[in-house]
Amino acid sequence: VEAAVSLAGALGAVVVFSAGNDKRNVYQISPQNMTDPLHKPVVVAAHDERRRPAEYPGNRGTNFGPTIDVMAAGGGQVNVGG
């Protein structure tokens, strides 16, 4: 997968991956742990309504770590759009 991410980046594509939901440091997970700024994916983690890392049932939660690029609304968010 890392080779595909690197190739896509070299061709000008923006590759985006979820950080995952296992309460793990993404630095231990590939390709989320890629650090080359020209070839790394954008890694998105989730936050709750208080902008804290999202928690999920079963002792699960958004992954965390130094290669997270963006936090987006996730766990516990209310859908008001129906």
CB 24 within 8 A of CB 40: no
CA neighbor of 22 nearest in space, from 66, 53, 49, 67: 53
pLDDT of the residue at 17:
94
CA distance 82 to 26: 33
**pLDDT tens-digit map of 5-47:** 999 999 999 999 999 999 999 999 999 999 888 889 999 999 9
Kindly state the average pLDDT of the residues 54-68. 92
pLDDT of the residue at 76:
61
CA distance 8 to 17: 13
pLDDT of the residue at 81:
55
CA neighbor of 68 nearest in space, from 36, 41, 39: 41
Kindly state the average pLDDT of the residues 43-56. 92
CA distance 72 to 77: 10
